[in-house]
């Protein structure tokens, strides 16, 4: 076993030392194919693989020769997703720097906290964040240079104004070297940066390459639509690095409006997407709303076809039954990988039923990020699949926590050995914090999250995800979140009560003349739906909330923020 692991490590080392050659080979193999594109007010901006290579070399040459960066220096990126973002990431690798992608939704205070932790010397920004970068330059001692993706009227270098130099000698590093520092969403006063090495990234590329045929078989897949922020590791690893290693074209959208997304899908013949579950739910709601407003015969036909499709094993036939929907998607949309949060089973089944494959995956930033993807068990939407080829997984016998081990597990938390030691044990098992079950055939099922667990007065433990799944069956609810609110007084102080926060759909809420009637109806629905649960799992308090719930950039509900709001109502 040790000999096999050692051989693998040596192989990874060789690949890592030649990662620049790997990038160079991709730009040669697919040189005239579109790599990255985005629609601007002037039309489409597209970079071929060869063009992306030239852009990356130009930025890297400027970093090395004109700015004088050293190997191991940090470079921060604060920008919306766009082709030049990818060029900057590759340039960082070429110049020997460590990339720190920043969340554009963070406040300046939060950005300052992160930058003070990782001490970058360079920050690259889009025009939108140029002023923020200038302010940070004055407050962060390590920060010396600003580079803009866009032309500007100020004395700040843009990538277009850089010297046409492509010949600087690139800097190689070992597989153990840090490639990225990813600060997890919700970071505030105590930054938690995840160090991702070249070995971590290469293990993901190798494992996902093995799954290529499981995703596409012999189908011709050419283009992908990217809707996730580039600062998120799921997008940076899978939606960018993996997709480009497959030679596909990635298109970005500046808007998440369904009309704009569908327009790009039609114009660029999009075949595949990397998404989060919230997007799929939004898309499902949009399709259902359109059907609801259709003539009676259309609604009857859809209902009939939807019932029949359940018994049809062929996606091609399902696609024919729902060809009008597929036409809106451009006609050649094949499917998507869903990750970043649990997928509602009803949402996954909806898309599978109408002929669109949904490959549910699971992972964490700390695992680079993919642990598993359900490629083979199409009839079991709840499964997140088997572990990737290089990943080991097991469930702790006492706590039911999922533990994973393998070359994709992070180096650790940047400058925080103690926190790293808490999550990676002496046998190199990473403790995910998620509750899981593993079936006899190796498929993993995520059933809850330890830190979300609600502890009741009798010692009973409830996972909110289970309660949310029951309440989400209502077609009247737009969003459902279940939290535990701690009691601070009395004999039950320190324990929690189950509270359900419900956001009703707008068209449903508009049917009621006042809020009291609306709340009464929602409470009745919650009572009925929760009757399927054990009595101790049922909400004791129901709050009707008319605004969208607070979320991270990856569309996860901010439970702590919501709990604080409830406590101060």
The CA–CA distances, whole Å, from 151 to 131, 147, 154, 157, 518 equal: 14, 10, 9, 8, 52
Tell me, yes or no, whether 257 and 289 share the same domain: yes
Q: For 85-100, write each residue's pLDDT tens digit.
A: 999 999 999 999 999 9
**What DSSP character marks residue 379?**
T
pLDDT digits (tens, 9 = 90+) for 336-388: 999 988 888 999 999 999 999 999 999 999 999 999 999 998 889 999 999 99
Contact 365, 184 (CB under 8 A): yes
On whether both 156 and 254 belong to a single domain, the answer is no
What CATH number does residue 111 fall under? 3.40.50.12780
CA distance 528 to 509: 19
Calpha distance 155→136 (Å, rounded): 16
Tokens describing residue 433: 């914090």
The β-bridge relationship of strands 74-78 and 477-486 is: unpaired
Residue 418 lies in a domain: no
The token pair at 353 is: 């039923």
pLDDT confidence of residue 299: 96
Same domain, 444 and 460: no
Residue 40: exposed, middle, or buried by beta-carbon count in 10 A (0-12, 13-18, 19+)?
A: exposed
Whether residue 443 lies inside any domain: the answer is yes
Most confident of 119-123, 212-216, 457-461: 119-123
Q: Calculate what percentage of the chain has a pLDDT beyond 90.
A: 71
pLDDT at residue 23, as a whole number = 72
In this structure, is residue 219 part of a structural domain? Answer: no
pLDDT band at 455 (very low <50, low <70, confident <90, very high): confident
Segments forming the whole domain that contains residue 334 = 234-410+436-449
Is the pLDDT score of 11 beyond 50? Answer: no
The vertex-339 CA angle with 334 and 342, nearest 5°, equals: 115
| Averaged pLDDT, 464-490 | 88
Residue 532 lies in a domain: yes
467 and 376 in one domain?
A: no
Q: Which of 553, 552, 276 lies closest to 561, judged by CA?
A: 552
Strand-pair partners of 38: 45, 252
The string of pLDDT tens digits covering residues 278-293 is 889 889 989 999 999 9
The tally of domains found in the chain comes to: 3
114 in Cβ contact with 192 (< 8 Å): no
Do residues 440 and 491 both lie within one domain? Answer: no
Check whether residue 343 and residue 473 sit in a common domain: no
In-domain check, residue 181: no
Query: Does 466 share its domain with 443?
Result: no
């Amino acid at each position: 076993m040790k000999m096999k692991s050692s051989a693998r490590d040596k192989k990874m080392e060789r690949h890592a030392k030649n990662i620049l050659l790997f990038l160079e080979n991709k730009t040669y193999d697919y040189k005239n194919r579109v790599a990255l594109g985005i629609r601007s007010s002037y039309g489409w901006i597209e970079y071929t693989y060869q063009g992306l290579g030239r852009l990356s070399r130009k930025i890297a040459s400027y970093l090395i020769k004109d700015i004088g960066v050293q190997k191991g220096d940090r470079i921060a990126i604060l920008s919306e997703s766009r082709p030049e973002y990818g060029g900057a990431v590759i340039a960082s690798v070429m110049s020997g720097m460590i990339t720190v992608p920043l969340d554009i939704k963070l406040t300046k205070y939060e950005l300052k906290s992160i930058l003070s932790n990782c001490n970058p010397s360079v920050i690259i920004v889009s025009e939108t964040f140029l002023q923020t970068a200038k302010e940070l330059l004055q407050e962060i001692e390590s920060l010396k240079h600003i580079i803009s993706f866009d032309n500007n009227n100020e004395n700040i270098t843009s990538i277009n104004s850089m010297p046409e130099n492509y010949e600087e000698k690139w800097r190689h590093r070992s597989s153990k070297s840090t490639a990225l520092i990813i600060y997890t969403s919700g970071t505030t006063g105590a930054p938690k940066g995840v160090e991702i090495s070249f070995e971590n990234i290469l293990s993901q590329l190798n494992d996902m390459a093995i799954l290529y045929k499981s995703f596409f078989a012999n189908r011709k897949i050419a283009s992908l639509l990217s809707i996730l922020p580039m600062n998120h590791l799921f997008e940076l690893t899978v939606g960018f690095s993996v997709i480009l290693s497959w030679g596909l074209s990635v298109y970005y959208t500046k808007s998440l409006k369904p009309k704009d997304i569908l327009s790009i899908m039609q114009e660029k013949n999009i075949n595949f997407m990397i998404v989060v579950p919230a997007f799929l739910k939004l898309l499902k709601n949009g399709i259902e709303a359109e059907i609801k407003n259709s003539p009676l015969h259309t609604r009857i036909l859809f209902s009939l076809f939807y019932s029949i499709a359940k018994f049809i094993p062929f996606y091609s036939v399902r696609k024919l039954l729902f060809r009008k929907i597929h036409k809106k998607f451009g006609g050649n949309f094949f499917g998507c990988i869903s990750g970043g949060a649990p997928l509602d089973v009803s949402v996954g089944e909806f898309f599978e039923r109408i002929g669109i494959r949904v490959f549910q995956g699971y992972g964490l930033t700390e695992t680079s990020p993919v642990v598993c993807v359900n490629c083979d068990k199409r009839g079991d939407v709840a499964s997140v699949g088997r572990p990737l080829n290089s990943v080991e997984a097991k469930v702790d016998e006492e706590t039911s926590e999922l533990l994973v081990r393998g070359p994709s597990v992070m180096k650790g938390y940047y400058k925080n050995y103690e926190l790293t030691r808490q999550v990676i044990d002496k046998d190199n098992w990473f403790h995910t914090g998620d509750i899981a079950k593993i079936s006899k055939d190796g498929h993993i099922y995520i059933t809850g999250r330890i830190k979300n667990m609600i502890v009741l007065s009798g010692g009973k433990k409830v996972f909110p995800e289970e309660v949310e799944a029951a309440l989400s069956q209502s077609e009247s609810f737009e969003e459902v979140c279940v939290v535990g609110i701690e009691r601070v007084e009395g004999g039950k102080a320190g324990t929690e009560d189950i509270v359900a926060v419900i956001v009703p759909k707008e068209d449903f809420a508009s049917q009621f003349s006042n809020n009291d009637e609306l709340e009464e109806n929602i409470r009745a629905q919650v009572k009925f739906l929760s009757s399927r649960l054990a009595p101790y799992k049922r909400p004791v308090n129901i709050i009707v909330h008319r605004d969208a719930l607070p979320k991270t950039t990856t569309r996860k509900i901010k439970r702590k923020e919501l709990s604080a709001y409830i406590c101060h109502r």
